[in-house]
Amino acid sequence: MSRLQRKHLAAPATRAERRGSLLRRVIKHIRQTGLRLRAPLAPAPAPVANTTPAPSTGNVPRLTAQDTDIQERPALQQLTRMLRRQGLAAGEQVPPGISFIEAATADAVPYTEGAMQGDEQQVTVALVDSGVDANHPDLVYAGGKSWLRRPSRRMPGDSTDPGVDFFGHGTHVAGIIGARNSGRGIVGVAPGQPVFSLKVLDGSGQGALSDALAAVRWAAGREGRAYNIKVINLSIAAYVSPDSDDAEDTLRIVCQIFQEASDAGVLVITAAGNYQDSLLNYVPAACPAVAAVTAVDPSSRAASPFSNYLPAHAPAADKARVMAAPGSGVMSTMSIQREPSRYSSLSAAEPHLWWQELRLSQDCVELSQDAACLPACLPAGFWELSGTSQASPHVAGIAATCIQSGACRPSSTGMQKLAVLQAAARQRMAQRRPYGFRGDPASAKGAASFLAWAKFWDG
C-alpha cells in the first residue's frame, strides 16, 4: 500500500476536513516529487505522436503553461437562449479565430457587460495563470489573489501582485476571453467579460502545481462564490507517465479537486497540451470533470500541428468533454508591465509553440514579415501567440456567454454546463458540415473533437 493509500485511523472527518486533508496530501506528494509549473515559453521537447513521451522529473514530469441536464437533443434554436447584440465599435478588430467560432460578425458582437438578469450577479471567469494586467484598458479586471511567495529572482521588476503580469501569458488569455468592444484593439469572445486573476506563475513562468490546485479549490469554494466565479481557465498541462508507480494515485487525487469544483457548479476548462501526444497522458486534461480543449488553425480548418489530441480509442465519456477551438496565430492583449524590448527574443525554438516577434512603433504593433496579421494595425498592447493555451480561453469565453444567456443554468454542475456547449457544437456541425474540425478517422488522432460554437447571442 502506498503512502497515498494509507488511511488515518481517527474519528470520521467532516466534508471540509476531508477536502483539506486531500489537498494537504496532494501538496505533500507533489513537493516530494519536485513537480513545478512552467508556462509555455520554453516547453520540454515535444514527443512525436506514438513515440516515447517526454522525460519526467521523479515520478511526475515538469509542466508547461498550457452529468448532463439535457435529456434529449432539442432543436438548436430551442437550446440556445440568446444574449442581445451590439454593434462592433468603429476601429475594433475581430481576430480570425473569433469569427471562426461565430463569436462575432463583421459588424456585431454579443452584449455581455451587465447581461445577467434580475438579482443574478455578473458571472466572473477565473484565470489560474501568471496574473492579469489590471490596468490594461481593454480588460475588465474583477480582482485577484496570489499564491506566489516571492517574485522571480531572474526577472527584475517582477511582482507577486495578481494584477501585475510580468510574464504576459495570463493577460493574453484574458483578452481572448473578454477584450472589450472599445474601438481601440481586438474584441474577445465575450466582450467586457470580468476576469479574476489567480496568480500561480511568476515572471519567468515558474510556479508550483500545488498552488494551482489550491487556487482551483479557492475559486470553487466560499471565497470564489463571493465573486460569482462560474468558470475557471487553466492553460497548463502536466505529463504523467502511465508507467510510473504512482500514476493512478496522482490522477485520482489531483482529479478529485476538479470533480469538487464541478460539483460546486464551476466549469473548469483546460488546455490539452502542446506535445502532439494523447491528452489523456496530461493533467488536468485527463481528469473526467474538466473540459479539455485542443487547438485548431482557423486558416486551414485543421488541427494545429502542435496540439495534443484525443485518441480514436478513447472512451465515450472523454469524447463528450473534449472540444476544439482556435489556437494558431491568436492575437490578444499584451501586458504593458513587461518590457517591450524583450519581445523580439521570445520567439520559441520549438515548432509547436511560438511567440511572434514584434516590432513596436508609436501607433501600432507590427508582426514579423512571415506572420499573418489582422487587416489593420493595432495600438501597442496586443500580440500574437499560438498554443492550446490560446484555444482553452475561447471555450471559457463561450461558457460565460452560455451562462449569461440562460442556456447554461448557473446552478447546474460544471459538467452539465459543458453538456450544453457540446450539444450546441454537435448540432451546429450537423447543420453545416464544413463548420468545425472532426479529425482524421484513419489516423491515431481520429477521435472527433467538435469545434466550440459561440452563438449564444442574437447575431
Domain presence at residue 51 = no
**Is residue 368 flagged as an active site residue?**
no
**Is residue 347 flagged as an active site residue?**
yes
Q: What is the CA radius of gyration of the chain?
A: 20
Instruction: Give pLDDT, residue 370.
Output: 31
The CB density around residue 348, as the number of other CB atoms within 10 Å, is: 16
**pTM of model > 0.85:** no
Q: From the centroid of its chain, how far is CA 300?
A: 22
The cell for 301 is 480548418
| 309 three-class SS | strand
Domain presence at residue 375 = no
Label residue 319 exposed, middle or buried (CB < 10 Å: 0-12, 13-18, 19+): middle
Catalytic residue chosen out of the listed positions 29, 169, 172, 352? 169
Structural domain boundaries, residue 426: 14-44+57-337+384-431
Q: Is the dihedral of CA 208, 210, 213, 218 positive or negative?
A: negative
Domain presence at residue 456 = no
Angle, in degrees to the nearest 10, between helices 169-178 and 388-405? 40
Domain presence at residue 198 = yes
Catalytic residue chosen out of the listed positions 29, 56, 129, 152? 129
Domain presence at residue 355 = no
Domain presence at residue 357 = no
Total structural domains within the chain: 1
Catalytic residue chosen out of the listed positions 2, 300, 347, 443? 347
Instruction: Give pLDDT, residue 20.
Output: 52
Domain CATH number, residue 217: 3.40.50.200
Domain presence at residue 242 = yes
Domain presence at residue 39 = yes
Per-residue pLDDT of the chain (459 residues; tens, 9 = 90+): 333 333 233 334 444 554 555 555 555 655 555 455 555 433 333 333 333 333 333 322 234 455 223 223 344 444 555 676 777 777 788 888 998 888 877 776 776 665 544 445 689 999 999 999 999 999 999 999 999 988 888 877 789 999 999 888 999 999 999 999 888 888 999 999 999 999 998 888 878 888 899 999 999 999 999 999 999 999 988 888 888 888 888 899 899 999 999 999 999 999 999 988 999 999 999 999 999 999 988 887 788 888 999 988 889 899 899 999 999 999 999 887 664 444 333 332 233 333 333 322 223 233 333 333 333 334 457 888 899 999 999 999 999 999 988 889 999 999 999 999 998 888 777 776 544 555 543 444 555 578 888 878 776
Residue type, 389: S
Instruction: Give pLDDT, residue 118.
Output: 45
**Is residue 169 flagged as an active site residue?**
yes
Of the CA atoms within 13 Å of residue 375, those in its CB half-sphere come to: 7
Task: Report the candidate in 265, 230, 264, 234 with the shortest Cα–Cα distance to residue 116.
Answer: 230
Instruction: Give pLDDT, residue 28.
Output: 61
